[in-house]
A and B are shown apart, each in its own frame.
Chain A
Amino acid sequence: MLDNDKYKKRIERERLARKEAERLLEEKSAALYEKNMELFALSESLEKLVAQRTAQMQNARDEALAALKVKTDFIANMSHELRTPMNGVLGVLSLMQNEQLSPEQTELLGVAESSGKHLLGVINDILDFSKIEANKISIELAPVEIRPYIKETITPFVLQAKNKGLAVNYAIDENVESMLNTDKLRLTQIITNLLSNALKFTHQGEVKLTLSKLDDSKHRLVVCDTGIGISPENLNMVFAAFEQADTSITREFGGTGLGMNITKRLVDMLDGNIHVESKLGEGTSFIIDMHMQAAQIDLNLVATPCALKHTNKKLLVVEDHNVNQMVAQRLLESWGFDIVLAENGLEATQIAKQQSFDAVLMDLQMPIMGGVEATKILRKEYLIDADVPIIAMTAHSSQEHIKECLQAGMQDHISKPLDKDRLLSVLNTYLSADIAVTSESELPSAVSADINIVHVEIAQSLARVGGDWPLLHSLIQRFLHEFDDFFTLFSQIKADGMSQMAVSMLHKIKGSGGNLGMTTLAELAGHHENRLLQSDTWPSENEIHNISQMILEIKGEFLALEEPKHQASEKQKVKVSKETLLTQISLVEEGIKQDVFAAEAALNELLRFDVEPKLSKVLNTAELAMQNFHTEAVLNALTQAQQMLE
């Protein structure tokens, strides 16, 4: 009995212990579960936080990019706003040099001009620093005649130095080639920065620039002075942005502390390196070793343009700025051009409707309508002849802007402030080329022998149009234009089961194609036309594709051809009265409203008449427009012609 009690107690103890252990286990596992849930929640909220932060970062990045774009645009606009008035100032100074002046006045004017140019340089400096920061600077290498260039670059400093009682000298080694390939603008900045820096810190003695040849591609440019010098501990700070040797220097000498930093970055861009040697109280030398190769000289480009008298040449100058207008007008008139001014792009298009020009000088940023848009309209609506050059005058000389100009239909650009020589050289290039082209085009039949287009028997079709290649050209162009999308069109017709329309389309290809010498194509179209008519058999997808392919092949080769000159040959010209001309013009106008083919025929007749050159030009514009099926432009030109006659 005693034993029984003992065992009962023991069992009870064990049972209690087991229950206790189970309770503890449950408690612990509950705690574990809770902790686990907490961990889940934490990791979830962490993920959310990460997503949120990522979104914030993306926003911040987008904002930063947008801000950068705003900054870039701002720089481009500032560039325009700052340079335009400088163009006026420098232009007026340049005009004054043409007046009768005393030697003293000439010298004063020279100082004013070089200071103005220097100011322009400073403006460029600040802009350039921002541009370098935004990686917006590109290096444009071109041949530079190095000796006169260095002399010209140094000249403003000679005067400045004279006032301080200093000498500025330069020496160029004899073995340095006369023409070197470099970026003139950037090199000027480098030299200007170094010279102005040297003059700033030199109180007596001289500043000297030397250029020597290290090897075929490397040259060394040294600017040394006898100035205050730089202490060794300050030497390595020279090229840091916004740093001068010490703050007292800023107080005494002024400056932004940007010059040397810009210089170093520009030297880097020109594939060179710069270092400085200096002794306190004795002077400083900046030594630049950079790649500058001897340039291949193109005599045509280098030859200084002589002031040819461009009599009877008429230019349209589109410029909103009064002073710039005056500068351009006076300059151009002094070379013998007739000038018509337009205040903005819209006015230019209106003037171009009434008068014809030999060239257009086009500013880019103007109120109401800018230069790019105006150019697009002039070209699209044939308001000026296709061979009349449009030349951009722009303060934006970035390559992107130039590309935009060329795409809009401009031929060239000159940067502002206007460079007299560059302007004349550009005008000479385009206007004399124009003459050369005109004289060539007087021999129209010479062209035809060389023409070759796949699937087209040119000789046969030329014979059909009386050897008139421009006419044949326009007919082929019209044909290709009409059946450009043959595959899609015909497939749709087939899908809709419109056999009447299909037959008519094939018939047209057969007829027109045959006349144009596209014999194979014509036969193919005829074959399918017959099958469709006789047995209601449609061409298969493959067969449609074959026809389309042939048209496309013709088009491919046709587009590669040069457009023919659109002048009716002189020998056939007939003298007629003014009344006959007016009647013929109204015939064309009538035709356009009713029957384009009749209009084309009437216009061709009109072109055979002998008229004065100005009117001839207008009529040629009409012809070109007609060939491109631009009836509105044809009517414009004809109205203009009528006005000229009346």
Chain B
Amino acid sequence: MRGLVFTEFLEMVESAFGDDMVDTIIDVTQPASGAAYTSVGSYDYSELENMIAELSVQTDISIAELLERFGRHLGAVFSERYARFFIQAGSALCLFQQVGRHVHREVKKLYPDEELPEFSYENAAADMPFKIHYRSDRNLHMVASGLIQAAFDYYSEPHHIKTSAWQEQHKYCCTFELTPFTKESKQPHVR
């Protein structure tokens, strides 16, 4: 897994829970890399899994919740680092579609060994919700959920995100149904 994910995860932990929490989860989980992560490196996914599990224990916040927060953190980082994509896309839904079509394709060129999640889209009719289907070897659909939320925040396009996840053999699947808020409806999302 790309080093950027690890460095940003520790950034998030540091900013949300303090430096000591970073030391704690590293000390407890003893990652093989010694947690000397660089964004240009590549590290074993289990190290992240272990750190998140330990963080959940330490903070008493569910893993899903932590992943979702991490997703939003990543989304904010991306919108600064790769602002070009956000500006070009112009809207959240366009951005999502570009992730599958262009972004992941380019990532594959640079890092052919990288295992990326698959996304597909469903835009049946104007009055029906826009659907994103997620498939991955890793159970990280909540990170995706956070990323989606971050994008809506970036474009100030409030949407309701309905998440339904399941497992299919060795794949983790999830469908996100995105419905824009009407004037009357209240934002249910707790930030």
B167 at the interface (CB under 8 A from A): no
Q: Which of B20, B23, B26, B36 makes the CB contact (< 8 A) with A17?
A: B36
B23 CB contacts on chain A under 8 angstroms: 6, 9-10
Q: Could you tell me if A21 and B41 are in contact, using CB atoms closer than 8 angstroms?
A: yes
Decide yes or no whether A553 CB sits under 8 A from chain B: no
Give the residue of B19, B20, B36 whose beta carbon is less than 8 angstroms from that of A20: B36
The interface residues of chain B lying within 8 Å CB-to-CB of A12 are: 36
A20 to B3 alpha-carbon distance, docked (Å): 11
Q: Mark B20-34, 1 if CB is under 8 A from A, else 0.
A: 100100100000001
B30-49 with Cβ < 8 A to chain A: 34-41
Q: Is the CB of B34 within 8 A of A24?
A: no
The listed residue with most A CB atoms (<10 A of its CB), out of B34, B38, B40, is B38
Kindly state the separation between the CA atoms of A14 and B19 in the bound complex, as whole angstroms: 13
Q: Are A17 and B37 CB-contacts (below 8 A) given A6-B23, A9-B23, A10-B23?
A: yes
Enumerate chain A residues within 8 angstroms of B36, measured Cβ to Cβ. 12-17, 20
Question: Which A residues are in CB contact (< 8 Å) with B35?
Answer: 13
Alpha-carbon gap, A14 to B10, bound state (A): 12
Give the size range of A's interface with the partner: 10 to 19
User: In angstroms, how far is the closest chain A Cβ from the Cβ of B152?
Assistant: 33
A25 within 8 A of B: yes
Contact B37 A24 (CB under 8 A): no
Interface membership of chain A positions 330-355, coded 1 if the CB is closer than 8 angstroms to chain B and 0 otherwise: 00000000000000000000000000
Specify which of A16, A17, A24 lies most central, judged by the most chain B CB atoms within 10 Å of its CB.
A17
Q: Is the CB of A16 within 8 A of B34?
A: yes
Name the interface residues of A262-304: CB closer than 8 Å to any CB of B.
none
Q: How far is the CB of A7 from chain B (nearest CB, A)?
A: 10
Minimal beta-carbon separation of B2 from chain A (angstroms): 12
A9's closest neighbor in chain B, by CB? B23
A16 surroundings in chain B (CB, below 8 A): 34, 36
In the complex, the chain B residue whose C-beta lies closest to that of A5 is B23
Residues of B within 8 A of A21 (CB): 38-41
The residues of B that contact A25 with a CB separation of less than 8 Å are 40
Least CB distance, B14 to chain A, in whole angstroms: 11
Q: Is the interface of A mostly helix, strand, loop or mixed?
A: helix
Alpha-carbon distance A18/B41, docked complex (angstroms): 11
Bound complex: CA A20 to CA B41 (Å): 8
A409 to chain B, nearest CB (A): 80
Bound CA span A433–B72, Å: 115
Q: Least Cβ distance of A38 to chain B in Å?
A: 17
Within residues 1 to 51 of chain A, which ones have a CB less than 8 A from any CB in chain B?
A: 6, 9-10, 12-18, 20-21, 24-25, 28
A11, chain B: closest CB distance, angstroms: 11
The residues in A between 318 and 376 inclusive whose CB is less than 8 angstroms from any CB of B are none
CA distance A14 to B34 in the complex (A): 10
Residues from chain B with a CB closer than 8 A to the CB of A18 are 38
Contacts of A17 in B (CB 8 A): 36-38
Q: How far is the CB of A473 from chain B (nearest CB, A)?
A: 93
Chain A residue numbers with a CB within 8 Å of B40 are 21, 24-25, 28
A22, closest chain B residue (CB): B38
A4 CB → nearest B CB, Å: 13
CB distance from B113 to the nearest CB of A (A): 14
Q: Which of B19, B20, B26, B38 contacts A24 (CB 8 A)?
A: B38
Q: A residues within 8 A CB of B37?
A: 17
**Minimum CB–CB distance for B92 against chain A, Å:** 33
A27 nearest CB across to chain B (Å)? 10
Which of A12, A14, A18, A21 counts the most B-chain CB atoms under 10 A from its CB? A21
Contact of B41 among A9, A10, A24 (CB under 8 A): A24
Q: CA–CA, A14 to B37, complex, Å?
A: 8
Q: Which residue of B lies closest to A18 (CB)?
A: B38
| Chain A positions within 8 Å of B26 at CB level | 13
Name the residue of chain A whose CB is nearest to the CB of B10: A13
Chain A contacts for B19, CB-based, 8 A: 10
CA distance A150 to B35 in the complex (A): 108
CB distance from B11 to the nearest CB of A (A): 13
> How many angstroms between the C-alpha atoms of A622 and B5 in the bound complex?
114
Smallest distance from the beta carbon of A10 to chain B beta carbons, Å?
7
B117 smallest CB distance to A (angstroms): 24
Residue of A whose beta carbon sits closest to that of B42: A24
Given the complex of chains A and B, what is the CA–CA distance between A38 and B34 in angstroms? 37
Against B, the Cβ 8 Å flags (1 = close, 0 = not) of A144-174 are 0000000000000000000000000000000
Chain B residue with the shortest CB-CB distance to A17: B36
Shortest distance from the beta carbon of A131 to any chain B beta carbon, whole Å: 61
Which residue in chain B gives the minimum CB-CB distance to A15? B36
The answer to whether B34 and A13 touch across the interface, beta carbons within 8 angstroms, is: yes
A553–B26 Cα distance when bound, in Å, is: 111
Determine how close the nearest CB of chain A comes to the CB of B137; give it in whole angstroms: 24
A369 to B39, CA, bound (A): 93
Q: How far is the CA of A14 from the CA of B26 in the complex (A)?
A: 13
Chain B residue nearest to A6 in the complex (CB): B23
Distance in angstroms from B27 CB to nearest chain A CB is 8
Distance, CA A13 to CA B10, complexed state (A): 12
Bound complex: CA of A639 vs CA of B19, how far in Å? Answer: 132
A13 to chain B, nearest CB (A): 5
CB distance from B30 to the nearest CB of A (A): 12
Q: Nearest chain A CB to B56's CB is how many angstroms away?
A: 22
A12–B34 Cα distance when bound, in Å, is 10
Contacts of A13 in B (CB 8 A): 26, 34-36
**Set of chain B residues within 8 Å of A9, measured between Cβ atoms:** 23
Report the Cα distance A17→B37, complex, angstroms: 5
Contacts of A10 in B (CB 8 A): 19, 23
A265-B35 Cα distance, complex, nearest whole Å = 87
Measured CB to CB, the closest approach of chain A to B37, in angstroms, equals 6
Residue of B nearest to A3 (CB): B20
Kindly list chain A residues whose C-beta atoms are within 8 Å of the C-beta of B41. Answer: 20-21, 24
Q: Which residues of A contact B38 (CB under 8 A)?
A: 17-18, 20-21, 24
Complex: A12 Cα to B35 Cα, angstroms: 10
State in angstroms the CA–CA spacing of A412 and B104 once bound together.
Answer: 86
Distance of B167 from chain A, by nearest CB (Å): 35
Residue of A nearest to B27 (CB): A9
| Cα–Cα distance between A9 and B41 once the two chains are bound (Å) | 20
B50 to chain A, nearest CB (A): 16
Provide the bound-state CA to CA distance between A16 and B26, in Å. Answer: 15
Complex CA distance for A16 and B38, rounded to whole angstroms: 9
Contacts of A15 in B (CB 8 A): 36
A518 to B34 Cα, complex, angstroms: 117
Q: How far is the CA of A9 from the CA of B31 in the complex (A)?
A: 14
Closest approach, in angstroms, between the C-beta of A627 and any C-beta of chain B? 93
Contacts of A20 in B (CB 8 A): 36, 38, 41
Taken together as a complex, chains A and B put the C-alpha atoms of A25 and B40 apart, in Å, by 8
* Residue of A whose beta carbon sits closest to that of B37: A17
A17–B41 Cα gap in the complex (Å)? 9
Determine the distance from Cα of A12 to Cα of B36 in the docked complex, in whole angstroms: 8
State the CA gap A336–B136 with chains docked (Å).
115
- Cβ distance A177 to chain B, nearest Cβ, rounded Å: 79
Question: How far is A15 from B37 in the complex, measured between Cα atoms in Å?
Answer: 10
In the assembly, what is the distance between CA of A18 and CA of B36, in Å?
A: 8
Closest 10 CB pairs of A and B: A16-B36, A21-B38, A17-B36, A17-B38, A13-B36, A24-B40, A20-B38, A6-B23, A20-B41, A21-B40
A-B contact sample (8 more), CB < 8 A, given A10-B23, A25-B40: A6-B23, A10-B19, A13-B36, A15-B36, A16-B36, A20-B36, A20-B41, A28-B40
In the complex, 7 of the A-B residue pairs with CB atoms within 8 angstroms, ordered by the A residue number, are A6-B20, A13-B26, A13-B35, A15-B36, A17-B37, A24-B41, A25-B40
